Chains A and B, each alone.
Chain A
Amino acid sequence: MAADVTPVAVPAESNTVRAEEERLRGMLEERLGIRTRVASLPGTRALLVSPLAGGMPKGLVVDRSVSAAERISLYVHLAAHIALKHDLPLITIVESRGDVTSGDEHNHRDADRLARAMWWGTSARADGRELWPGRRSRILRPLLSSRPGRIGLRVLLLVLRRLYYAARARRLLEGTAVARSLRDALCVTAVVCAAPELGAIRRYSGSG
Chain B
Amino acid sequence: MRLQDRERVSKAIRTLRGDRSLDSLVDRIYEITEGSVSLDRATLQRVATGRTRVTRAIDSPEDCVRLYFALMIIGCEEELTLAEVVGEGRTMLAGFVGEPLATLVFADLRRTLPKLTDLRTLREYLEEGLRVWLPT
Contacts and interface: CB of A to CB of B under 8 A. Distances in A.
Interface of A: 1, 35, 39-44, 47, 49-52, 56-59, 61, 90-92, 94, 96, 101, 103
A58 B120 contact: no
Contacts of B117: 42-44
Contacts of A96: 115
Category for how many chain B residues contact A: 20 to 34
A59 B126 CA distance: 11
A42 B124 contact: no
B131 A1 contact: yes
B121 A92 contact: no
B81 to A, nearest CB: 17
Interface of B: 104-105, 107-108, 111-112, 114-118, 120-121, 124-125, 127-129, 131-134, 136
Contacts of A51: 132-133
A101 B115 contact: yes
Given A41-B120, A42-B120, A56-B136, A49 B125 contact: yes
A35 B134 CA distance: 14
Nearest to B132: A51
28 contacts: A41-B120, A41-B124, A42-B118, A42-B121, A43-B118, A44-B116, A44-B117, A47-B124, A47-B125, A49-B129, A49-B132, A50-B132, A51-B133, A52-B132, A52-B133, A56-B136, A57-B136, A58-B132, A61-B124, A61-B125, A61-B128, A90-B104, A90-B108, A91-B111, A92-B108, A92-B112, A92-B125, A94-B112
